């Protein structure tokens, strides 16, 4: 057990972990609530375009999702590299306050362009929060449970998709999307207070330097792991960004049914996240290969059955479960190959996932705006699985032990075991 894990009682440890997960809940709400409110946002911020061409307006409003993702991509490595040596509790509290302010600005900005800028600012703390919170949770839970620690922090995000996002989406549909973002800001304010009160004081890494953290980017396997996450989650966000029009225009349900669809997708994400954490502790690369196969199959199911309510809900559950299960596996893989650069490795996973967020929203919006229909983003997601798997295979081949030719057969059966990673900055 770690020093932190043994210095706290079980009840205090659980409360500290819940405080960390609450931040993940707020992040899930701020990142995903726009998906169910895109038509409302487009109608309010782009009224002329919406009146002329609703599909084009909704596609353009997807830039709000991409803007948040850009903030994550920029903020995660920057903040993580600079702040790795700072005390974790103080850093997490500051990041929660930054989330609060950025989300309030998103709610109050008067024009589409200013809302986009506010979403960039709101995304800046995202990756650093998850990275530092994952390290703090791993310390609280003790050795040998790193994948489950990552999954616990991410559980706040997945639970947000079951409870927070549907409720806040319904609130936004009734009271306006700006009220929805103010509700999210309140969650972040509560997170800041909870971390300040419940999380034990823990030092950062006193030996961390910007140079040492950035050394992770000299490792080719790190870049390939990042590409795997970006492409895999690009496929997920191509679907998730346009859940509302998929449900109303393809399945034919009312807008009031959209929160139900989001609940089902969130249930899938919650279940998948729990499974993914355990699979990651048994071998991250093995989990990545198997889960990509499940993810591809789930996208096909959704594409073929979304015209019915049962097919829509089943497909969304499977897509959410497979995508969420991939996240802790990819993050554990990054931490495996990053050497001493653990803070930045834990953070930049969220940069890659939000590159996928931006990529998926852009490509999904592009095929919709081109007139290919609201099912087209699902096929975009399936297409992105191919380069995602190829990146995972290339990364595995770089780090497998020399002379381990049996691994090629393991890849073919989705059973590659990555517990023996040997990598150096010059690999």
Asked if 39 and 58 count as a contact pair (C-beta separation under 8 A), the reply is yes
Does 68 reside within a domain? Answer: yes
Asked if 49 and 61 count as a contact pair (C-beta separation under 8 A), the reply is no
Query: DSSP class of residue 338?
Result: S
Asked if 153 and 21 count as a contact pair (C-beta separation under 8 A), the reply is yes
The pLDDT value recorded for residue 417 is 46
Question: What's the Rg (C-alpha) of the chain?
Answer: 20
For 277, the token pair is: 């954490």
The pLDDT value recorded for residue 6 is 47
Does 2 reside within a domain? Answer: no
Does 346 reside within a domain? Answer: yes
Tally of helices (H runs) and strands (E runs) in the chain: 20, 0
Residue 224 to residue 421: CA distance in whole angstroms: 14
The pLDDT value recorded for residue 420 is 43
pLDDT at 39 over 70: yes
Does 105 reside within a domain? Answer: yes
Residue 107 to residue 177: CA distance in whole angstroms: 8
CA neighbor of 229 nearest in space, from 279, 146, 285: 285
pLDDT at 286 over 70: yes
CA neighbor of 184 nearest in space, from 24, 21, 26: 26
The pLDDT value recorded for residue 349 is 78
* pLDDT mean over 225-247: 88
Residue 404 confidence class, pLDDT cut points 50, 70, 90: very low
Percent above pLDDT 90 for the chain: 32
Domain residue limits at 42: 9-412
Does 17 reside within a domain? Answer: yes
Alpha-helical regions (H) of 160-283 = 165-175, 177-198, 210-214, 220-240, 243-245, 258-282
Does 224 reside within a domain? Answer: yes
The pLDDT value recorded for residue 124 is 93
Residue 315 to residue 265: CA distance in whole angstroms: 9
Query: CA 348 from chain center: how many Å?
Result: 11
* pLDDT mean over 229-237: 87
Residue 208 confidence class, pLDDT cut points 50, 70, 90: low
Does 343 reside within a domain? Answer: yes
Average pLDDT, the chain: 83
* pLDDT mean over 6-23: 82
For 146, the token pair is: 């790193």
Residue 157 to residue 140: CA distance in whole angstroms: 19
The pLDDT value recorded for residue 424 is 39
**Burial (0-12, 13-18, 19+ Cβ within 10 Å), 9:** exposed
Overall domain count for the chain: 1
Least confident of 98-107, 268-277, 402-411: 402-411
Least confident of 71-80, 106-115, 373-382: 71-80
Does 422 reside within a domain? Answer: no
pLDDT at 342 over 80: no
Tens of pLDDT, residue by residue over 120-166, are 999 999 988 988 888 888 788 766 666 677 777 778 877 887 888 88
The pLDDT value recorded for residue 144 is 61
CA neighbor of 165 nearest in space, from 25, 302, 39: 25
pLDDT at 293 over 70: yes
- Identify which of 2-11, 80-89, 306-315 has the greatest average pLDDT: 306-315
**Burial (0-12, 13-18, 19+ Cβ within 10 Å), 378:** buried
| pTM attached to this predicted model | 0.72
Residue 140 to residue 34: CA distance in whole angstroms: 33
CB atoms under 10 Å from CB of 81, counted, come to 23
Residue 33 confidence class, pLDDT cut points 50, 70, 90: confident
Asked if 162 and 281 count as a contact pair (C-beta separation under 8 A), the reply is no
More reliable by pLDDT, 415 or 221: 221
More reliable by pLDDT, 98 or 84: 98
Helix then strand then coil, in percent of the chain rounded to 5, is 85, 0, 15
Strands (E), 44-174: none
**Burial (0-12, 13-18, 19+ Cβ within 10 Å), 90:** middle
* Helical axes 54-61 vs 10-45, angle rounded to 10°: 140
Residue 300 to residue 315: CA distance in whole angstroms: 8
Q: b/e string for 314-333 if b means 16 or more Cβ within 10 A?
A: bbbbbbbbbbbbbbbbbbbb
Residue 402 confidence class, pLDDT cut points 50, 70, 90: low
Residue 20 to residue 56: CA distance in whole angstroms: 39
CA neighbor of 191 nearest in space, from 131, 139, 148, 129: 129
Residue 166 to residue 276: CA distance in whole angstroms: 23
Distance (Å) of CA 218 to CA 32, 205, 222, 347? 32, 21, 8, 16
Least confident of 24-38, 199-213, 225-239: 199-213
For residue 402, what is the domain's CATH number?
1.20.1250.20
């Amino acid at each position: 057990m770690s020093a932190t894990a043994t210095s706290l009682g079980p009840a205090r440890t659980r409360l500290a972990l819940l405080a960390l997960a609450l931040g993940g809940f707020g992040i899930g709400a701020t990142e995903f609530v726009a998906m169910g409110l895109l038509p409302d946002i487009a109608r309010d911020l782009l009224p002329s375009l919406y009146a002329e061409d609703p599909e084009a307006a909704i596609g353009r409003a997807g830039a709000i999702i991409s803007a948040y993702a850009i903030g994550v991509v920029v903020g995660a490595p920057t903040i993580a590299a600079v702040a790795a040596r700072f005390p974790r509790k103080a850093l997490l509290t500051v990041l929660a306050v930054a989330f609060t302010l950025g989300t309030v600005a998103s709610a109050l900005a008067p024009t589409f362009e200013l809302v986009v800028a506010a979403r960039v600012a709101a995304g800046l703390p995202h990756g650093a929060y998850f990275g530092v919170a994952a390290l703090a949770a791993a310390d609280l839970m003790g050795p040998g449970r790193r994948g489950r620690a990552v999954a616990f922090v991410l559980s706040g995000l997945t639970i947000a998709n079951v409870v927070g996002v549907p409720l806040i989406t319904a609130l936004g549909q009734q009271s306006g999307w700006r009220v929805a973002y103010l509700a999210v800001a309140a969650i972040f304010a509560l997170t800041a207070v909870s971390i300040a009160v419940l999380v034990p004081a823990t030092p950062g890494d006193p030996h961390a330097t910007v140079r040492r953290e950035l050394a992770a980017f000299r490792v080719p396997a790190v870049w390939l792991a990042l590409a795997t996450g970006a492409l895999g989650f690009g496929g997920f966000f191509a679907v998730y960004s346009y859940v509302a029009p998929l449900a109303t225009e393809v399945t034919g349900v009312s807008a009031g049914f959209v929160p139900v669809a989001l609940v089902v997708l969130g249930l899938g994400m919650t279940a998948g996240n729990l499974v993914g954490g355990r699979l990651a502790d048994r071998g991250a690369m093995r989990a990545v290969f198997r889960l990509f196969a499940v993810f591809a199959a789930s996208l096909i199911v959704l594409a073929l059955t979304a015209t019915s309510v049962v097919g829509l809900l089943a497909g969304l559950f499977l897509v959410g479960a497979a995508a969420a299960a991939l996240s802790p596996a990819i993050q554990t893989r990054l931490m495996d190959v990053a050497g001493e650069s653990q803070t930045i490795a834990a953070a930049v996973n969220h940069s890659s996932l939000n590159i996928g967020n931006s990529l998926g929203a852009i490509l999904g919006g592009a095929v919709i705006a081109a007139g290919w229909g609201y099912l087209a983003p699902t096929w975009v997601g399936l297409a992105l699985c191919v380069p995602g798997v190829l990146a995972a295979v290339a990364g595995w081949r770089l780090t497998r032990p020399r002379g381990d030719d049996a691994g090629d057969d393991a890849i073919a059966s989705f059973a590659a075991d990555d517990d023996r990673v040997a990598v150096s900055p010059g690999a």
